[in-house]
Chain A
């Protein structure tokens, strides 16, 4: 089986510009790409301006790298730049999905008390979470796909395809506070909404699934030069199977993630792995600018 390997340089800028004066800012960041069998991190750094008075690194509950920092001083612009170089390797073609037990098999029910290969109870990824509550509309959405005796991974694939087909990718109509119920009603959203929807749907059936935050390398149209900052933060999901462990799915693009997907962190949903979260003391409003560049080297 042939293996695809890619080296990347990554730059992720987040800038907050304040209309008033901001005096103090406490922040939490999930910016360092996770290392795994298919992802080797060569270098990573975070540059923050103005310079924080205090910084602390740690691993969070899900073993993601977390950076805490404090900015104490009046400022009207906060810039956080995360840069990394890394090597991604993946089989050139996604391996076939394992054959699993049917979704309606009663054996499913005990999964919560099992642990995954990293020692985490699957209950973490099976129970409702803040962004993925169990909503009645989920059952209605699932209904057409619930063919008795259907293989679980096959079902996961179909849910991914249906999200891609039945929902419109439309930036700006949703934000981090938009509920799944709203997304199910309006049938539009962005990668984060689609990941949450897929999570809620599979969890409803007792299939463990987790949220992945990261980046996706975009390929410019033929003959066009790639625009700076054109790449984006991305989100997809990983579905657990007893046979092979965690398998990634990208419902936004209806594909099995490849070398072009660079994973930063995983958790129950967006709120576990929010790239940058800050609390400000000051006056006025803030304006957010995000730029991502994923460049092959």
Chain B
């Protein structure tokens, strides 16, 4: 890292001028006074840049991006809020600097705004005085898709939380006065990113940071968690607070970062279940009650039973749990309504109505088209208007009149006229600029500041000192949160050198570490990783055996070969219990493709690998880096094989690679994972799947009705698919025969891959699982199955004759064994994953 020089400069020319920085024509700049001089709080920054000389800005950027990378962070505004995918936001290490005195005004204004919106929230879901006294037109409230009628009998207040974490987008126009351009209450993004930006920039510019006396943000998070804990419905000594984050699969979501940083448990909606008025985390050790949920998903999706949206992940019954007081949810799920710009024209009046005060920070000038005079005004001034939907901001892309052609304006006009009450027009602000690094220069760029705060009924509004600045990448005036841009840290500078104060150290002192809970969803997916990996292995060996026959040949007779291939294919589809899928296809090559490359075939390799990918992604936190590489290699090598377009015959080598990688993945997991319950489930999944596949395969062998050479070859293939050819040869020095195959693969007490050994291991692994709350321990379920197996093995005697009737008997035994294993799997699901009671 370059040393950072912050000594005063010697030159008489102020550093800002030496750097060639100045405001754009007709634009205010945050760092430049009206007389052209430098604003006091920015002086240290310009001095530092000037003192370091050319090259320092690119260097700082490089350092910042290296630190981010090392911290495993791709900058993503995982924008649930904006309804978009994750977009890259790069970090400009040059902060937006605000003096403490100016910030005080902003803070006062935002505290008032929190109080105002909190009162409004209580009113719209309670007495609705704003409608009765005709302060706001009824359509703005009752026509909004975020108005949750399901919650109207449950207004915020008392134990029901109101505004939770809220965000306000602030901009200044050319007069220098601040405006709010957006209010976000439902699931605002950016808090984690603000925290992360602070951490990175603090490391890039530590001395400047101290010299400016930047106000610390750690206390804000402590107050927030303290607030959440105080809202726990029952007086429990250690209330359980969890972040409810639907993006659970992505490690790099900002909520994941926030959760890790602050030591708070993060759960996915499917980790939760509502029972008898409370919300519980489904954990391997049983159901654990949650007291407080900080939701980072849209409130209208929160309760999948009562919500109006379809297909979103949610928690069925959670509203009922809120009604019975079993859980506190922050924010109140109906806050999306308050984000409507339809309230802006009435905000002054609302502020007087609720608080008896004038509004400190006005919203951007707004006209609701549902009122005739406003509609006329908006249509007359359309070229200079910003047009937004009053409903969900996701439903309609904000339109900027200035950017539209004549045709575009005409279309917009039609759109507004078709449903005037659905739209507002807003004045377009010429927002102020802030110094931003561009290669080796500081240049002025338009910026919007996203401030964060929450409303505490006992202590009033709390505002994070700082926030997240978003900068337009081009010289354009407008910033849309949907556009990719840059983010900045925001420094509130007291000018006094402050003690270093890291959030993590403070958090350690005041917050407990997250409880040691393994959610069932993680456990279930580990279990399925084991099962799918085993399925993929066996399918790969089936495929390899078939390709082997095609390339090398098992005899000289083409008809014999074709019949054997046909037999193996039938075997594979029988094992996966979907013979009808095979019947749909006639051509031999097409049938082989079902196994090798078709994604929709439940007996196909691609199917198993896709399932494996999904389950392993969900459980990513469990894997060591080497395991991650092994699984990526497994999935990757087969994707490459298919993409190469070389066709089935070249697949043999790729199949070998796939098998090696899968074996490496499973082996690494057994070695590197701690032998906890998660590991036990992974191993149980493997054993149970392998036992199931063996039963299916041997059953197929017994019922195949092949004879003579064909039966010998089928036996050899079965042994090959079970990777047992070598052991067989060492044991029997003989051509493969059914009874011997059975003896080895089912009953051999010294062969680790025999069914009886797999059962023994399965029993050991199941014994490691915690006893389920409402059910028999799963190991007990295995007992009868082991006894049946032992009795069957006793009947296998090489010295006795093996008439055809014995085949049917043995097949029937394997059939019951397979059913018993499926029942055991259901039992694991009920006991540990779905936590159902026995009926």
Residues of A within 8 A of B (CB): 21, 23-24, 26-28, 50, 53-54, 56, 58-62, 68, 70, 72-75, 112-113, 121, 123-124, 126-128, 130, 134, 271-272, 277, 279, 281-282
Q: Is B152 an interface residue (CB 8 A)?
A: yes
Q: Is B137 an interface residue (CB 8 A)?
A: yes
Interface of B is mostly: loop
State the Cβ distance, A208 to closest chain B Cβ, in Å. 12
Q: Which chain A residues lie closer than 8 Å to B274 at the CB level?
A: 26, 70
In the complex, the answer to whether B142 meets A21 with C-beta atoms within 8 Å is: no
In the complex, the answer to whether B836 meets A73 with C-beta atoms within 8 Å is: yes
In the complex, the answer to whether A121 meets B142 with C-beta atoms within 8 Å is: yes
Q: Is B308 an interface residue (CB 8 A)?
A: yes
Q: Which chain A residues lie closer than 8 Å to B276 at the CB level?
A: 53-54, 70
Q: Which chain B residues lie closer than 8 Å to A113 at the CB level?
A: 131, 134, 137-139
Q: When the two chains form the complex, which single residue of A26, A75, A127, A279 contacts B139, counting CB atoms closer than 8 Å?
A: A127
State the Cβ distance, B514 to closest chain A Cβ, in Å. 25
In the complex, the answer to whether B320 meets A124 with C-beta atoms within 8 Å is: no
In the complex, the answer to whether B839 meets A60 with C-beta atoms within 8 Å is: no
Task: Look across to chain B and name the residue whose beta carbon is closest to the beta carbon of A52.
Answer: B276
In the complex, the answer to whether A26 meets B305 with C-beta atoms within 8 Å is: yes
Q: Is B157 an interface residue (CB 8 A)?
A: no
In the complex, the answer to whether A68 meets B137 with C-beta atoms within 8 Å is: no
Q: Is B277 an interface residue (CB 8 A)?
A: yes
Q: Which chain B residues lie closer than 8 Å to A281 at the CB level?
A: 273, 834, 836
Report Cα–Cα, A113/B131, bound state, in Å.
Answer: 8
State the Cβ distance, A263 to closest chain B Cβ, in Å. 20
Q: Which chain A residues lie closer than 8 Å to B308 at the CB level?
A: 130, 271
Q: Which chain B residues lie closer than 8 Å to A24 at the CB level?
A: 273, 834-836
Q: Which chain B residues lie closer than 8 Å to A26 at the CB level?
A: 274, 305, 316-317
Q: Which chain B residues lie closer than 8 Å to A62 at the CB level?
A: 149
Q: Which chain A residues lie closer than 8 Å to B139 at the CB level?
A: 112-113, 123, 126-127
State the Cβ distance, A132 to closest chain B Cβ, in Å. 13
Q: Which chain A residues lie closer than 8 Å to B141 at the CB level?
A: 123
State the Cβ distance, A65 to closest chain B Cβ, in Å. 13
Q: What does the 1/0 interface line of B813-839 toward A look like (CB < 8 Å)?
A: 000000000000010011000111111
User: If the complex has contacts A61-B152, A134-B419, are A74 and B838 also in contact, measured as CB distance less than 8 A?
Assistant: yes
Report Cα–Cα, A23/B273, bound state, in Å.
Answer: 12
Q: Which chain A residues lie closer than 8 Å to B152 at the CB level?
A: 61
State the Cβ distance, B392 to closest chain A Cβ, in Å. 13
In the complex, the answer to whether A56 meets B323 with C-beta atoms within 8 Å is: yes
Q: Which chain A residues lie closer than 8 Å to B829 at the CB level?
A: 23
Q: Which chain A residues lie closer than 8 Å to B138 at the CB level?
A: 112-113, 121, 123
Q: Which chain B residues lie closer than 8 Å to A61 at the CB level?
A: 149-150, 152-153
In the complex, the answer to whether B153 meets A279 with C-beta atoms within 8 Å is: no
Interface of A is mostly: strand
Q: Which chain B residues lie closer than 8 Å to A54 at the CB level?
A: 275-277
Task: Look across to chain A and name the residue whose beta carbon is closest to the beta carbon of B314.
Answer: A279
Q: Which chain A residues lie closer than 8 Å to B837 at the CB level?
A: 53, 72-74
Q: Which chain B residues lie closer than 8 Å to A60 at the CB level?
A: 149-150, 153
Q: A27-B305, A70-B276, A112-B139 are in contact. List 6 more A-B contacts (CB 8 A).
A: A23-B834, A26-B305, A61-B150, A70-B317, A123-B138, A281-B273
Q: Which chain B residues lie closer than 8 Å to A58 at the CB level?
A: 153, 323
Task: Look across to chain A and name the residue whose beta carbon is closest to the beta carbon of B826.
Answer: A21
Report Cα–Cα, A26/B316, bound state, in Å.
Answer: 6
Q: Is B306 an interface residue (CB 8 A)?
A: yes
Q: Which chain B residues lie closer than 8 Å to A74 at the CB level?
A: 830, 836-839
Task: Look across to chain B and name the residue whose beta carbon is closest to the beta carbon of A136.
Answer: B418
Task: Look across to chain B and name the residue whose beta carbon is closest to the beta carbon of A128.
Answer: B143
Q: When the two chains form the complex, which single residue of A50, A59, A127, A128 contacts B839, counting CB atoms closer than 8 Å?
A: A50
State the Cβ distance, B313 to closest chain A Cβ, in Å. 12
Offer 22 A-B interface pairs, CB within 8 angstroms, sorted by A: A24-B835, A24-B836, A26-B317, A28-B306, A50-B839, A53-B837, A61-B150, A61-B153, A70-B275, A70-B317, A74-B830, A74-B836, A112-B137, A113-B138, A123-B138, A123-B139, A123-B143, A128-B143, A130-B308, A279-B305, A279-B316, A281-B273
Task: Look across to chain B and name the residue whose beta carbon is closest to the beta carbon of A72.
Answer: B837
Q: Is B17 an interface residue (CB 8 A)?
A: no
Q: When the two chains form the complex, which single residue of A23, A124, A282 contacts B142, counting CB atoms closer than 8 Å?
A: A124
State the Cβ distance, B830 to closest chain A Cβ, in Å. 6
Interface positions of B from 620 to 649, Cβ below 8 Å from A: none
Residue among B131, B275, B834, B835 having the largest count of chain A Cβ atoms under 10 Å: B834
Report Cα–Cα, A26/B280, bound state, in Å.
Answer: 14
Task: Look across to chain A and name the residue whose beta carbon is closest to the beta carbon of B319.
Answer: A68
B contact residues, range: 35 or more
Q: Is B324 an interface residue (CB 8 A)?
A: yes
Minimum-distance CB pairs A-B, first 5: A23-B836, A61-B149, A26-B316, A127-B143, A123-B142
Report Cα–Cα, A255/B2, bound state, in Å.
Answer: 85
State the Cβ distance, B218 to closest chain A Cβ, in Å. 40
Report Cα–Cα, A282/B830, bound state, in Å.
Answer: 9
Task: Look across to chain A and name the residue whose beta carbon is closest to the beta carbon of B148.
Answer: A61
Q: Which chain A residues lie closer than 8 Å to B304 at the CB level?
A: 279
State the Cβ distance, B627 to closest chain A Cβ, in Å. 29
State the Cβ distance, B525 to closest chain A Cβ, in Å. 16
State the Cβ distance, A92 to closest chain B Cβ, in Å. 37
State the Cβ distance, A16 to closest chain B Cβ, in Å. 15
In the complex, the answer to whether A59 meets B305 with C-beta atoms within 8 Å is: no
In the complex, the answer to whether B305 meets A277 with C-beta atoms within 8 Å is: yes
Task: Look across to chain A and name the residue whose beta carbon is closest to the beta carbon of B134.
Answer: A113
State the Cβ distance, B472 to closest chain A Cβ, in Å. 35
State the Cβ distance, B464 to closest chain A Cβ, in Å. 35
Q: Which chain B residues lie closer than 8 Å to A124 at the CB level?
A: 142
Q: Which chain B residues lie closer than 8 Å to A73 at the CB level?
A: 836-839
Residue among A21, A23, A56 having the largest count of chain B Cβ atoms under 10 Å: A23
Task: Look across to chain A and name the residue whose beta carbon is closest to the beta carbon of B128.
Answer: A121
State the Cβ distance, B140 to closest chain A Cβ, in Å. 9
Q: Which chain B residues lie closer than 8 Å to A23 at the CB level?
A: 829-830, 834-836
Q: What does the 1/0 interface line of B586-623 toward A look like (CB < 8 Å)?
A: 00000000000000000000000000000000000000
Q: Which chain B residues lie closer than 8 Å to A70 at the CB level?
A: 274-276, 317
State the Cβ distance, B628 to closest chain A Cβ, in Å. 30
Report Cα–Cα, A127/B137, bound state, in Å.
Answer: 13
Residue among B150, B304, B316, B826 having the largest count of chain A Cβ atoms under 10 Å: B316
Task: Look across to chain A and name the residue whose beta carbon is closest to the beta carbon of B131.
Answer: A121
State the Cβ distance, A226 to closest chain B Cβ, in Å. 36
Task: Look across to chain A and name the residue whose beta carbon is closest to the beta carbon of B834.
Answer: A23
Q: When the two chains form the complex, which single residue of B134, B275, B838 contacts A53, counting CB atoms closer than 8 Å?
A: B275
Report Cα–Cα, A23/B306, bound state, in Å.
Answer: 20
Report Cα–Cα, A124/B829, bound state, in Å.
Answer: 44
Report Cα–Cα, A54/B321, bound state, in Å.
Answer: 11
State the Cβ distance, A51 to closest chain B Cβ, in Å. 10
Task: Look across to chain B and name the residue whose beta carbon is closest to the beta carbon of A282.
Answer: B834
Report Cα–Cα, A24/B835, bound state, in Å.
Answer: 9
Q: Which chain B residues lie closer than 8 Å to A27 at the CB level?
A: 305
Task: Look across to chain A and name the residue whose beta carbon is closest to the beta carbon of B317.
Answer: A26
Interface positions of B from 780 to 839, Cβ below 8 Å from A: 826, 829-830, 834-839
State the Cβ distance, B342 to closest chain A Cβ, in Å. 13
State the Cβ distance, A288 to closest chain B Cβ, in Å. 17
Q: Which chain A residues lie closer than 8 Å to B275 at the CB level?
A: 53-54, 70, 72
Report Cα–Cα, A60/B148, bound state, in Å.
Answer: 11
Interface positions of B from 120 to 160, Cβ below 8 Å from A: 131, 134, 137-139, 141-143, 149-150, 152-153
Q: Which chain A residues lie closer than 8 Å to B273 at the CB level?
A: 24, 281
Task: Look across to chain A and name the residue whose beta carbon is closest to the beta carbon of B151.
Answer: A61
Task: Look across to chain B and name the residue whose beta carbon is closest to the beta carbon of A120.
Answer: B142
Report Cα–Cα, A75/B577, bound state, in Å.
Answer: 24
State the Cβ distance, A185 to closest chain B Cβ, in Å. 20
Report Cα–Cα, A75/B837, bound state, in Å.
Answer: 10
Q: When the two chains form the complex, which single residue of B131, B142, B836 contacts A72, counting CB atoms closer than 8 Å?
A: B836
Report Cα–Cα, A28/B317, bound state, in Å.
Answer: 9
State the Cβ distance, B725 to closest chain A Cβ, in Å. 37
Q: Which chain B residues lie closer than 8 Å to A128 at the CB level?
A: 143
Report Cα–Cα, A73/B320, bound state, in Å.
Answer: 19
Q: Which chain A residues lie closer than 8 Å to B134 at the CB level?
A: 113
